[in-house]
């Protein structure tokens, strides 16, 4: 098989000197039927890759916003299998936009790594980011993922040492995800210079595209982070809208599209990044 959609997607973006916009939403939030149409709408609004959160009862690395999104989705018992089903549904109309599942290990563990990898791959999933699975614990999983054309996406944090950056980059594929601040999703303010320095440090070890997430609040932060990275991941800023309009799900799409569109145009107009590279 030909590998996931992530590499061609990032190659293409690089050729155009374009920064990828990666929205994160929790699958099944605020109810299951919202998710697939939302994915299509986000692509329309300029998303290059979609990160789909798999709800988990104990999302230890997430802040209150995404935690509540999990709770709303779990009220409908949205399972890992359901999320894979949503990707399959999405693929009926969209063959090219990469989809990454982001979540915690336990739902994958109980489904079984092999079975999960086969079903996810067959449905059209391209990458898997398991927040609580550092490379040290991932050896068996990585073989299974790669033989099923799934890219394992790993995190790098501000606290990650140079040695570990090397280690993470040596096993990562698709892209690496730089967690731009100490803390949980949706927290505090970004230190752009700090991010830029870390990008240089990571780039010394790898050519893999680097996505930056945690703390991308608005078009302005998206543009400044985008000027030093290959991709910006925006989660809590979107999921906030799901919370705000949870009882009027029909309005969420319009709100999310507005946030994404503003980020897209900010990214596209602030494209002096070639110079900074």
Partner 1 sequence: MNQKSAFDYSQYNLPDTSGHFGPYGGRFVSETLMAALEELREAYEHYLKDPAFLKELDDTLANYVGRPSPLYHAERWSRELGGAQIYLKREDLNHTGAHKINNTVGQAMLARYMGKKRIIAETGAGQHGVASATVAARFGMECVVYMGAEDIQRQASNVFRMKLLGAKVVPVTSGSKTLKDALNEAMRDWVTNVDNTFYIIGTVAGPHPYPAMVRDFQAVIGREAKEQCMAQTGKLPDALVACVGGGSNAIGLFYPFLADKDVAIYGVEAAGSGIETGKHAAPLCAGEPGVLHGNRTYLMEDKDGQIIETHSISAGLDYPGVGPEHAWLKDTERASYVAVTDDEALDAFHALTLIEGIIPALESSHALAYAKKLAPTMKKDQVIVVNLSGRGDKDIHTVAAREGITL
For position 243 contacting partner 1 by CB under 8 A, the verdict is no
Residue (of 160, 158, 159, 108) closest to 129 by Cα position? 108
Specify the stretch interacting with partner 1 by CB under 8 A; choose among 12-20, 25-33, 79-87, 225-233. 79-87
Pick the binder of partner 1 from 47, 100, 155, 216 (CB under 8 A). Answer: 155
For position 58 contacting partner 1 by CB under 8 A, the verdict is yes
Provide, rounded to whole angstroms, the least separation between the CB of residue 254 and partner 1. Answer: 28
Contact 29, 211 (CB under 8 A): no
Pick the binder of partner 1 from 6, 9, 39, 156 (CB under 8 A). Answer: 156
Output phi, psi for 142, to 5 deg. Answer: -65, -40
Sign of CA dihedral 182, 18, 51, 27: positive
For position 106 contacting partner 1 by CB under 8 A, the verdict is yes
Contact 120, 128 (CB under 8 A): yes
Contact 66, 186 (CB under 8 A): yes
> Which among 62, 126, 151, 230 is annotated as catalytic?
62
How far apart (Å, rounded) are the C-alpha atoms in residues 21 and 10? 11
Pick the binder of partner 1 from 16, 159, 189, 276 (CB under 8 A). Answer: 159
Specify the stretch interacting with partner 1 by CB under 8 A; choose among 73-81, 85-93, 205-213, 235-243. 73-81
Centre a 10 Å sphere on the Cβ of residue 73 and count the other Cβ atoms it contains.
Answer: 28
In the complex, the residues that contact partner 1 under the rule CB under 8 A are 56-61, 63-64, 67-68, 71, 74, 77, 79-81, 104-111, 131-134, 136-137, 154-161, 164, 168, 179, 182-184, 187
């Amino acid at each position: 098989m030909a590998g996931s959609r992530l590499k061609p997607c990032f190659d293409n973006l690089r050729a155009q000197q374009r920064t990828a916009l990666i929205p994160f939403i929790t699958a099944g939030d605020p109810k299951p039927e919202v998710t697939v149409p939302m994915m299509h709408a986000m692509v329309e609004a300029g998303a290059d890759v979609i990160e789909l959160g798999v709800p988990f009862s104990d999302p230890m690395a997430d802040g209150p916003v995404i935690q509540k999104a999990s709770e709303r989705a779990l009220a409908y018992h949205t399972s890992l299998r359901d999320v894979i089903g949503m990707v399959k549904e999405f693929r009926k109309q969209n063959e090219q936009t990469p989809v990454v599942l982001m979540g915690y290990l336990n739902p994958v563990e109980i489904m079984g790594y092999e079975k999960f990898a086969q079903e996810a791959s067959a449905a059209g999933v391209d990458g898997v980011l398991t927040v609580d699975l550092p490379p040290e614990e991932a050896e068996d999983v990585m073989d299974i993922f790669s033989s099923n054309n799934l890219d394992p996406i790993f995190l790098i944090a501000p606290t990650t040492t140079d040695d570990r950056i090397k280690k993470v980059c040596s096993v990562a594929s698709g892209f690496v995800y730089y967690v731009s601040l100490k803390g949980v999703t949706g927290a505090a303010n970004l230190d752009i210079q700090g991010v830029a320095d870390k990008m240089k440090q990571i780039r010394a070890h790898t050519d893999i595209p680097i996505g930056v997430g945690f703390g991308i609040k608005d078009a302005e932060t998206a543009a400044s982070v985008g000027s030093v990275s290959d991709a910006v991941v925006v989660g809590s800023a979107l999921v906030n809208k799901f919370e705000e309009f949870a009882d009027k799900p029909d309005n969420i799409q319009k709100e999310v599209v507005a946030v994404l569109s503003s980020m897209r145009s900010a990214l596209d107009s602030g494209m002096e990044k070639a110079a900074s590279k």
